[in-house]
């Protein structure tokens, strides 16, 4: 009969250690998931996006060398440059789109906004 209390204590200790180790592992798993992404990953992601946009920009520029009035390439070039916050670089293709579409009010409005942004950015960097 003296072995029953020892067995019970051993079983209780085993259960407590099992539950404790499981809870500790689960806490570690969830705490890693709740941490914000580290800065290196954010920087690498931003650099990757920039390099993709630069590659897209070069592609549209290559098309425009062969077909200077290709409106799809002009639109894509404007979009890529705006995503890179290159407002000054977006002005020339936008002006060409306005010239090719004299009735295109949306191009005129966008051109005015881009020129405004380019002016703001130019004044802010001085």
Task: Indicate whether 125 pLDDT > 70.
Answer: no
For residue range 112-124, what is the model confidence (pLDDT) as tens digits? 998 998 888 766 5
Cβ proximity of 69 and 82 under 8 Å: no
Higher per-residue pLDDT: 38 or 110: 110
pLDDT of residue 61: 92
Write down the domain spans for the chain.
Answer: 1-35, 43-126
**Rounded Cα–Cα distance for residues 34 and 54 (Å):** 33
Convert the pLDDT of each residue in 70-100 to its tens digit.
989 999 999 999 999 999 999 999 999 999 9
Q: Supply the pLDDT for residue 2.
A: 59
* DSSP structure class, residue 1: -
With cut-offs at 50, 70 and 90, classify the pLDDT of residue 9. confident
The mean pLDDT value for 3-20 works out to: 79
Nearest-CA neighbor of 91 among 71, 104, 77?
77
DSSP class of residue 126? -
Using alpha carbons, select from 64, 68, 44 the residue that is nearest to residue 56: 64
Please say if the pLDDT value at position 19 is more than 80: no
Residue 119: the pLDDT is: 85
Q: What is the DSSP string of 28-89?
A: HHHHHHHSPPPHHHHHHHHHHHHHHHHHHHHHHHHHHHH-TT-HHHHHHHHHHHHHTT-HHH
Classified by CATH at the fold level, domain 43-126 comes out as: 1.25.40
Here the tokens at position 33 are 């998931």
């Amino acid at each position: 009969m003296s072995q029953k209390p020892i067995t019970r204590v051993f079983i209780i200790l085993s259960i407590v250690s099992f539950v404790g180790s499981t809870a500790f592992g689960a806490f570690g798993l969830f705490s890693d998931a709740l941490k914000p992404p580290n800065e290196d990953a954010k920087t690498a992601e931003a650099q990757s996006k920039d390099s993709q946009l630069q590659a897209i920009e070069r592609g549209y520029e290559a098309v425009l060398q062969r077909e200077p009035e290709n409106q799809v390439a002009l639109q894509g070039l404007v979009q890529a440059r705006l995503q890179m916050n290159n407002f000054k670089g977006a002005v020339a293709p936008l002006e060409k789109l306005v010239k090719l579409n004299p009735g295109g009010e949306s191009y005129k409005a966008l051109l005015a906004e881009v020129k405004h942004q380019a002016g703001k950015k130019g004044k802010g960097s001085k």
